[in-house]
């Protein structure tokens, strides 16, 4: 879509706008997007903001659909990037992997330094600009941290990227993780970041391969995430790179590496300085 007055190419997200619950959710998402962008913009150390900019919204004539207008990222999302590599039969280079690792770490650090948890980090929510700079999107379940650096979430995040500390109760009680309330911290974002980076390098989830994923039962996957170690990353990648991702997938959230610590690693800092 192209906005006529400014000739600005934008992205438009269509959502249902009928029930009171839908309206409340949409207005909350719009408010959260604006709030987060403004907070990060004020505190960012560089001029580049790693958050998709919200530009406004409008309703259709019937009033049952809402269209959220956002900054357009021409290279699509990281899922598309991974799928293109799969289609070509190629793997990401270590240099490019460090590049994405550093950019996503900066993105999360911009949030975490302001007490904001994204709660739904996954390849589909990591967008890429024309020159492959990272922008985080979809803040529908994002929350600001409460006292004690933690908050309660329900229906927050995407199941395949949820941290083991979130899934313990689901496994013990054999109920869907979507109805469990639990405490989440910034460490939950780091876990999802680690799963995303694993997929970027290995082109499959760390706890199942592409073939068995279609038939894998939910509680079997939860059991693996909670109790098993992730698969090994391909041998072609440097040990230091694999160790960073391993530290993001530490089962104990108190021992999980932070975005700030990732940015202080020599190879990561070097990849950012090259830009």
CATH (domain of 66): 3.30.200.20
Q: What are the residue ranges of helices labelled H in the chain? A: 20-43, 78-88, 94-112, 164-173, 186-202, 218-227, 239-248, 259-263, 266-273
Judged by DSSP in three states, 115 sits in coil
Number of domains in the chain: 2
216 band by pLDDT with thresholds 50, 70 and 90: confident
Tell me: the pLDDT tens digits for 154-205? Answer: 334 467 898 998 887 766 665 555 545 555 689 999 999 999 999 999 999 9
β partners of residue 58: 67
Alpha carbons within 13 A on the beta-carbon side of 95: 3
pLDDT of residue 133: 95
Residues 157 and 228 in one domain: yes
- Note down the domain range covering 25: 2-71
Residues 58 and 114 in one domain: no
Query: In the chain, pLDDT over 90 holds for what percent of residues?
Result: 55
Residue 139 has pLDDT above 80, yes or no: no
- Nearest Cα neighbor of 185 from 108, 78, 100, 103 is 108
Which residue would you say has higher pLDDT here, 178 or 92?
92
67 lies in the same domain as 118: no
One domain for residues 49 and 178: no
Q: With H, G, I as helix, E, B as strand and everything else as coil, classify residue 192.
A: helix
Q: What backbone torsions phi and psi does residue 29 show, to the nearest 5 degrees?
A: -65, -45
Average pLDDT over residues 6-25: 86
Instruction: Check if 120 is active-site.
Output: yes
Question: Parallel, antiparallel, or unpaired: how do β-strands 126-128 and 134-136 relate?
Answer: antiparallel
Distances (CA, A) of 127 to 7, 19, 137: 21, 30, 7
Q: Rounded to whole angstroms, how far apart are CA atoms 139 and 119?
A: 8
| Residue 228, pLDDT above cutoff 50 | yes
Give the model's pLDDT for residue 152.
Answer: 31
Domain stop point among 31, 55, 71:
71
- Would you place residue 131 in the very low, low, confident or very high pLDDT band (cuts 50, 70, 90)? very high
Same domain, 122 and 252: yes
Q: Indicate if 168 and 255 belong to the same structural domain.
A: yes
Q: Residue 239: is it exposed, middle or buried by C-beta count within 10 angstroms (0-12/13-18/19+)?
A: exposed
Is pLDDT above 50 for 151?
no
| pTM across the whole model | 0.86
Q: Highest mean pLDDT: which of 35-49, 59-73, 220-234, 248-262?
A: 248-262
Half-sphere exposure of 197 (CA within 13 A, CB side): 31
Same domain (yes/no): 132, 19: no
Domain of residue 191, CATH code: 1.10.510.10
pLDDT of residue 154: 35
Same domain, 130 and 191: yes
Q: Examine the fold and report which residue of 21, 38, 71 is the final residue of a domain before the chain moves on.
A: 71
Task: Look over the chain and give the mean of its residue pLDDT values, rounded to a whole number.
Answer: 85
User: Quick one: 135 and 23 in the same domain?
Assistant: no
Asked which of 12, 47, 71 is the last residue of a domain, the reply is 71
Residue tagged active-site, from 77, 99, 120, 189: 120
Burial class (CB in 10 A: 0-12, 13-18, 19+), 267: middle
- DSSP assigned state of 230: P
DSSP state of 51: B
Q: Is the pLDDT of residue 226 over 50?
A: yes
Q: Looking at the structure, tell me whether residues 85 and 208 fall in a common domain.
A: yes
């Amino acid at each position: 879509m192209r906005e006529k007055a400014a000739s600005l190419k934008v992205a438009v997200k269509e959502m249902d706008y009928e029930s009171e619950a839908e309206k409340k959710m949409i207005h909350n998402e719009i408010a959260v997007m604006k709030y987060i962008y403004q907070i990060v913009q004020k505190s960012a150390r560089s001029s580049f903001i790693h958050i998709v900019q919200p530009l406004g919204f409008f309703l259709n004539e019937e009033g049952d659909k809402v269209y959220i207008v956002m900054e357009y990222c021409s290279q699509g999302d990281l899922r598309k990037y991974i799928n293109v590599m799969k289609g070509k039969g190629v793997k990401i280079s270590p240099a490019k992997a460090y590049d994405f690792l550093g950019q996503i770490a900066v993105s999360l650090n911009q949030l975490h330094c302001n007490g904001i948890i994204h709660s739904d980090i996954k390849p589909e929510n990591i967008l890429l600009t024309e020159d492959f700079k990272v922008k985080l999107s979809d803040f529908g379940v994002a929350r600001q941290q409460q006292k004690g650096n933690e908050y309660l979430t329900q229906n927050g995040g995407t199941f395949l990227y949820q941290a083991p500390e979130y899934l313990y109760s689901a496994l013990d009680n054999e109920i869907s993780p979507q109805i469990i309330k639990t405490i989440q911290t910034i460490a939950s974002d780091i876990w999802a970041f680690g799963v995303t980076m694993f997929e970027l390098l290995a082109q499959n989830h760390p706890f199942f391969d592409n073939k068995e994923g279609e038939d894998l039962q939910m509680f079997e996957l939860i059991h693996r995430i909670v109790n098993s170690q992730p698969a090994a990353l391909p041998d072609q990648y440097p040990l230091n790179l694999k160790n960073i991702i391993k530290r993001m997938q530490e089962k104990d959230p108190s021992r999980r590496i932070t975005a700030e610590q990732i940015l202080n690693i020599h190879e990561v800092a070097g990849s950012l300085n090259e830009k």
